[in-house]
Structure 1
Amino acid sequence: MATRFQITVDCADPDRLAHFWAAALHYELQEPPDGFDTWADYWRSRGLPEEEVGDGLGYDSIVDPSGAGPRLWFQQVPEKKEVKNRLHLDLDVTNRRSGTLEARRELIDAEAARLIALGATISRVAGPEIGITDYYAITLLDPEGNEFCIS
């Protein structure tokens, strides 16, 4: 049996990233567990120190509505992101090998525009222009500067 896992993202503003990534991945914001009005109340009940709970008034996790994908938890930390991610998400919006490069490029550009409207920024583009044939992808940064790719 496969091991269940969640992806944890260290961040300054869990609510902001939860909203961004819920929209980006077509996920849902996860409500606090039964019996708790806020995630802060839940984390306090688990014994987390107040400085780690933060304001805790918004959302800090998202889930796949179908239950197939992993849960993402946005953990508030005091330090800022300083270097390139060692792990990042690749969002497959084209099924990578199906269709022509032109058709895939249109889908990727449309998704990039949608994500930019949500708060992402473009970091770089990879494709035929830089010598990579039959491939096109865009690396973006989420609202806190975490890298992710769409292809």
Structure 2
Amino acid sequence: MSTPLVLGITVDCFDAQVAAAFWCRALGYVESPPPTGWSDWPSFLRDHDVPEEEWGDGAAITPASGEGPTISFLKVPESKTVKNRVHLDVKVSGGRHIDQGLRESRIREKEADLVAHGARRQREDRVDGHLDHFVMEDPEGNEFCIG
């Protein structure tokens, strides 16, 4: 009998709670529920002898729909030093077949919302003179795109 493959994504960060809150907003995710058998995260952490001072060192979020990968955030001591080799794309435009004005307004609206919540724009990429996507950074400097 084989175990089914489940995709999970883990992001190293300085502040797991801040990173998780930002990505919940960016992706429409919610805080992951505690594992089966525990009514809340403090009970789970206490039962696994995790010292209270470490309770904020990790966080997990999951799609509100229940469909898709869980993303975990883990506190690490080192800071980000180089460009990500893998990044997330926040796809809000609807695709290149959508009216360019509508595509651009969707991209700009999401960019404004995320900038208001700690993101930074690195650059604007255009294709055939039209906005295609923004290259962004989350509050900890991890690159992602909005398109």
TM-score interval, normalised by the smaller of the two chains: 0.7 to 0.9
Tell me which stretches of 4 or more aligned residues in structure 1 moved more than 6 Å.
none
CA spacing shift, 1:70–1:54, aligned 2, 3 Å = farther
1:144 aligns with 2:140: yes
Contact 2:15–2:57, Cα closer than 8 Å, also in 1: no
Whole-angstrom CA distance in 2 between matches of 1:40 and 1:82: 33
Whole-angstrom CA distance in 2 between matches of 1:84 and 1:39: 38
Contact 1:38–1:58, Cα closer than 8 Å, also in 2: no
Whole-angstrom CA distance in 2 between matches of 1:36 and 1:107: 36
Counterpart residue type for residue 145 of structure 2: C
**Gaps (5+ residues) in structure 2?**
none
Number of corresponding residues: 143
Structure 2 residue matching 1:9: 3-state secondary structure: strand
Partner of 1:22: 24
Contact 1:38–1:57, Cα closer than 8 Å, also in 2: no
Deviation, structure 1 residue 31: 3.6
Counterpart residue type for residue 146 of structure 1: N
Partner of 1:41: 45
Whole-angstrom CA distance in 2 between matches of 1:109 and 1:127: 13
Contact 1:84–1:147, Cα closer than 8 Å, also in 2: yes
1:117 aligns with 2:116: yes
What are the superposed Cα offsets for residues 52-93 of structure 1, whole Å, 9 maximum, x if unpaired? x96323760101121111000001111100000010001110
- Cα RMSD after superposing both structures: 2.7
Structure 2 residue matching 1:63: 3-state secondary structure: strand
Larger strand proportion of the pair = 2
**Identical amino acids, percent of aligned pairs:** 35
Q: TM-score, normalised by structure 2?
A: 0.83
Q: TM-score, normalised by structure 1?
A: 0.81
Whole-angstrom CA distance in 1 between matches of 2:11 and 2:103: 29
Deviation, structure 1 residue 133: 4.8
1:107 aligns with 2:106: yes
CA spacing shift, 1:101–1:39, aligned 2, 3 Å = farther
